[in-house]
A and B are shown apart, each in its own frame.
Chain A
């Protein structure tokens, strides 16, 4: 059944690849923030699956902390965007 792990990881890796392309190409700053938010959520999923593959519960604690930090990061970037209402951004 190990080959199924490769399927799961390649699906998630393709998702990460698409968000990274949008992060690089994003025409506006807010597009980059959106892609960063999606990227963080996918990384939480990857960490949870790694916990299953390596059979170690520590990775779940990492995933919890990462989820909290990702939420903080999103809110902080949103606050930053609100302050910057220029037309050329």
Chain B
């Protein structure tokens, strides 16, 4: 049980590291949002599963519902938040010039 817990924790830590590295290395804002959101969502998922196994190993069964709530909340709120940032980034005229296609441009000002 403890070994499984540590495996999940290390996988989660690895994905957090990849998320940080993605935010640091990607060349423009939209790609940074992509790397950060995906990597941290799976990282948090994996960390919470690891903590659940670790808590079950020492007999703390009441932790699992709280961890479940954290997972559900993160999986719902993280994409919504990143989508809000992406929309705000687009509207603040901070558009990278390496896009090969931009369908959002000819939408018109219909806000």
Question: Which residues of A line the B interface, CB within 8 A?
Answer: 1, 4, 7-9, 11-12, 14-19, 21-22, 28-31, 33-35, 37-38, 41-42, 44-45, 48-49, 51-52, 55, 57, 60-61, 63-64, 67-68, 71, 74-75, 77-82, 84-87, 89
Contact = CB atoms under 8 A, between A and B. Distances in A.
B84 A42 contact: no
A49 B9 contact: yes
Contacts of A87: 93
Contact of A57 (B37, B62, B92, B94): B62
Contacts, number: 180
A14 B32 CA distance: 17
Nearest to A73: B81
B39 to A, nearest CB: 8
A74 B81 contact: yes
Given A18-B24, A48-B47, A34 B36 contact: yes
A9 B77 CA distance: 25
A30 B19 contact: no
B13 A11 contact: yes
A37 B13 CA distance: 17
Interface string B19-51: 111011000010011001100110110011011
B2 A33 contact: no
> Looking at chain A's contact residues, is the secondary structure mostly helix, strand, loop, or mixed?
helix
6 contacts: A1-B6, A12-B16, A15-B16, A19-B20, A34-B85, A49-B51
Contacts of A15: 13, 16-21
A51 B51 contact: yes
Contact of A45 (B16, B32, B89, B92): B16
Contacts of B9: 4, 8, 49
